[in-house]
Amino acid sequence: FASAEAMERWREVEKEKLRLYMRRLVRKADVDGIMLRITIHEAKSLIAMQPLLKKAYSNPYAVLSHHVGEDIRKWHTKVVPHSLYPVWNQTFDIPLTSVHDSVHLVIKDKYKKMRRPLGRVEIF
């Protein structure tokens, strides 16, 4: 670039192009919907929910929840018995209807009805 000002103008133009492109994607997402594919592979070093036995373990499973306004849809993995290092390798297709949807992943124990899960992450 000939000057720092020219480079800054170029950056601003590129940012605006990206903003316009993203707006088109958002409009398309609102109209057509998007299929989000999530694969839950594994978890590591989970908390032992049955610690009093000779070998401490949990019976973990994962719950994906898709929040659309007031509605909540859920998908569950299989339970991996007696494991602190579960491997699921399960894939879920989640139909998104808006860019304002949110998806959460929570790891729970099958036999413990507790308020605090084994793990949690907000995907978006």
Q: Considering the chain, what percentage of its residues have pLDDT values greater than 90?
A: 15
Question: Which pLDDT does position 81 carry in this prediction?
Answer: 92
- What is the token pair recorded at 104? 């959460």
Model pTM greater than 0.85?
Answer: no
Query: Model confidence over 34-80: pLDDT tens digits?
Result: 788 888 988 888 888 766 667 778 889 999 999 887 888 999 999 99
9 vs 21: CA distance, rounded Å: 18
Task: Name the strand (E) or helix (H) holding 24.
Answer: helix 4-32
